[in-house]
Structure 1
Amino acid sequence: MRSKLSSRSESSVRTRGCTHLERHVPAYREYLLGRGNVAGYVRSCEAAVMHFSMWMHQTNLGLADVDETLVVEFLKGHLPQCNCETSARHPACVRAALAHLLVVLREAGAIRPKPQDETAVGEELRRYDQYMTQVRGLAPKTREGALRLVGALLRKHFGDGDIRFEVLTAEHVRHFFALQAKNYSTPSSLGAVVASLRSYFRWRASLGDRTHALVGALAYPANWQLASLPKSLEPAEVEQLEAALGQSGPSMLRADAIVRCALDLGMRSSEIAHLNLDDIDWEAGTITLRRTKGRREDVMPLPDATGRAIALYLRNERPKTQHRMVFARHMTPRERPIGPDLVRKTIRQAYARAGLAHTRSHLLRHTMASRLLAGGSSLKEVADVLRHRSLNTTLIYAKLDSSRLVEVALPWPGTSRNVSMTLRHRAS
């Protein structure tokens, strides 16, 4: 069944229709080309589809059998011992090609829709996801993490059966939390586990379930968020970074615009990646952030330096794409917008070009807060610019406001009033 195909057998498979997949190849090709993929990548994907089709013919499978399970069987069962006369056998490339194929076939109605988890846990997770979306307005990444944790807990104790909270004890929850703690390295990340599970149990309590004891079984780990000063760039480092902008080379205009968005506006990596052309009002000189962590829209003034950097990129470097995102991929597939990872990578590379040892893109957000405080802005104004939901999130920057902290500083025991006044004068 999995012996080496001869040229004659391959030709025979093509003649007999390759399990009816061939009729969808034109739509498959159009789908890939329409998303900015180069011709070479499209050809490699088509070769992977033909390889998959030949294997299906050998195993007497038809188009109706195609789904995720069959793709996994092909990838894990056939590819490791494949002797077929084809070069399309690299697992990662074939996996990506067949993922595109499933999308095209489902859009054409040629195969069954993606199966849903019909168990009680699957239905519960869909209901909870709807609640997190419509009631709490949580971001997709937050919902995804919460569903993964809640699903793991429920499947561990109920499997495919009904969910019965009367048999789920506080000890069960504490044991599950202890197991999860092995996968997280920081108190803040482990605190997200507590928040996800507590939120779920409170939701169930609002529906009438007795889950209050389960909420109390989870305690947040000690996390001294205000124990240290938030790290930011020194003024000299900011000048060093700005001096390194404007270099020539591939994607340098995009890099300059991304750095300016983070440094001048304090934008998060995800906000930069999701910035849309329609979010910029060039006449009014404003920028609207619509896809923020706080799930709200914020209108901010567009600084001249930032606007010039974005305009230069749009005029001279941005490739033509069908999507409206400001920052586009410069390599195929160009129709796929960039993600936060590319933004973070771009900022790391900008640090390196400037000769700075920093790596975290979030430093630029902290730097903006420090510069605002140094310029006399209040914590409330900093919170508004950084778009914090709660003022408590901004309190970490209070320790950077030395001009105001000195006003409440008490004299050191044993020192004179004159010494204290001298220290205050130096701070101001």
Structure 2
Amino acid sequence: MDRPAPEPPAPVPLPLTQQRYLEHLRVERRLALRTLVLYEQALRRLCQLADEAGVALERVSVQQVRRWVARLHGQDLSPRSLALMMSAWRSWYRWMGRQGLVELNPVDGLRAPKGSKLLPKALAVDDAVQLASYRDESADPVREACDTALVELLYSCGLRVGELVGLDVVPGASARGWLDLDGAEAHVLGKGSKQRIVPIGSAALAAVRGWLLCRGEWLAAGSTETALFIGPRGGRMGATQVRQRLGRRALAAGSPSHVHPHMLRHSFASHVLQSSGDLRAVQDLLGHANISTTQVYTKLDFQHLAKVYDAAHPRARKR
């Protein structure tokens, strides 16, 4: 008889200062769950490296961090992953400095190795419209109404998945976001607890209204759940559920590639920029703090123009 596989050991608790810092990120800065997970993973890696070197976290030097980064890079950790990890370390040491617990931030001034910049993946306009317009007549009507509203809002407003699942039906003191259907506006709480207002297109408005008509069928009697998007058990839908449902819907709709929520955000930005050419407006709609973050979509726009040129110009066509 085969023995059951042993359960993996429970993770070692983080030092108290790191636990307090993560709580600060969760409560005061209200970072998304996925971001908190990445920060915790980065801090655990820092603890591991410091323990292997036999040095207290408060006494880590710049030279040691530089060696650790070089070592991790040599172990094929990507430049992007290294940059995210170093950002978490830098932010924690900065917080420690404000608490008077360290005198030196050993990550300040250090940069991760440069890697090739990958352009965000966006759907073609026809593919995005096909996905948003897809309807499954054989599906459960409530689930179909929910999935339709999910896709329409992601593509119509360019929301991050955390912003989407944070939406409530009505505004309230604890609401992270809500929809003003009469004003055709989405009020969302983005990164860094920054609020912004995004217009909602007519197709998305119709889809949300359709979902609200049957949302109550998934609520238990007497439920006070305020989330706009809930699951069949009546609780607020999580980001993982959104990713899974979107992936299945895109597959059923015949999308040419794996579709995730952020791809619809990229598609929103790229398509609005293609049509308007207004980079500053796209920056505001996306909630980017720096326009340099938004400028990556100009490269996508140029790729689109280049394809049009190659297809249309007589001297560009391949013989």
TM-score (norm 2): 0.74
Q: Counterpart of 1:358?
A: 257
Aligned residues: 285
Shift of the alpha carbon at 1:392?
A: 1.5
Shift of the alpha carbon at 1:263?
A: 1.2
Q: Counterpart of 2:291?
A: 391
Matched, 1:202 2:94: yes
Relative distance call for 1:183 and 1:328 in structure 2 (3 A) is farther
Q: Distance in 2 between matches of 1:162 and 1:356?
A: 51
- Cα deviations across residues 307-358 of structure 1 (Å, max 9, x unaligned)? 111111221355124211112112xxx1432111111122222221221222
Would the aligned equivalents of 2:123 and 2:264 in 1 still touch at CA under 8 Å?
yes
Q: Distance in 2 between matches of 1:239 and 1:182?
A: 43
2:120 alignment partner, one of 226, 230, 254: 230
Aligned-pair identity in percent equals 24
Would the aligned equivalents of 1:276 and 1:325 in 2 still touch at CA under 8 Å?
yes
Max Rg structure:
1
Gaps of 5+ in 1: 1-79, 82-90, 93-116, 407-421
Relative distance call for 1:212 and 1:363 in structure 2 (3 A) is closer
Matched, 1:296 2:188: no
Relative distance call for 1:261 and 1:158 in structure 2 (3 A) is same
Relative distance call for 1:255 and 1:133 in structure 2 (3 A) is closer
Q: Distance in 2 between matches of 1:313 and 1:238?
A: 21
Q: Counterpart of 1:316?
A: 214
Would the aligned equivalents of 2:130 and 2:253 in 1 still touch at CA under 8 Å?
yes
Q: Counterpart of 1:191?
A: 83
Spell out structure 1 runs of 4+ moving beyond 6 A.
none
Q: Counterpart of 1:307?
A: 205
Relative distance call for 1:232 and 1:191 in structure 2 (3 A) is same
Would the aligned equivalents of 2:186 and 2:200 in 1 still touch at CA under 8 Å?
yes
- Cα deviations across residues 46-89 of structure 1 (Å, max 9, x unaligned)? xxxxxxxxxxxxxxxxxxxxxxxxxxxxxxxxxx79xxxxxxxx
Gaps of 5+ in 2: 8-12, 171-177, 307-311
State the SS of the aligned residue for 2:218.
Answer: coil
State the SS of the aligned residue for 1:215.
Answer: coil
Q: Any residues of structure 2 matched to 1:109-188 within 5 Å, and which?
A: 122-129=15-22, 132=25, 138-154=31-47, 157=50, 163=56, 165-166=58-59, 168-177=60-69, 185-188=77-80
Q: Counterpart of 2:167?
A: 275
Would the aligned equivalents of 1:272 and 1:343 in 2 still touch at CA under 8 Å?
no
Q: Distance in 1 between matches of 2:229 and 2:83?
A: 33
- Cα deviations across residues 264-315 of structure 1 (Å, max 9, x unaligned)? 111122222222111122332322113x234222222222211111111221
Q: Please report the RMSD computed on the Cα atoms of aligned residues, expressed in angstroms.
A: 3.6
State the SS of the aligned residue for 1:129.
Answer: helix
TM-score (norm 1): 0.57
- Cα deviations across residues 348-397 of structure 1 (Å, max 9, x unaligned)? 22221221222132221121112211222411100111111221110101
Matched, 1:369 2:262: no
Q: Counterpart of 1:215?
A: 108
Bigger Cα displacement from structure 2, 177-186 vs 138-147 = 177-186
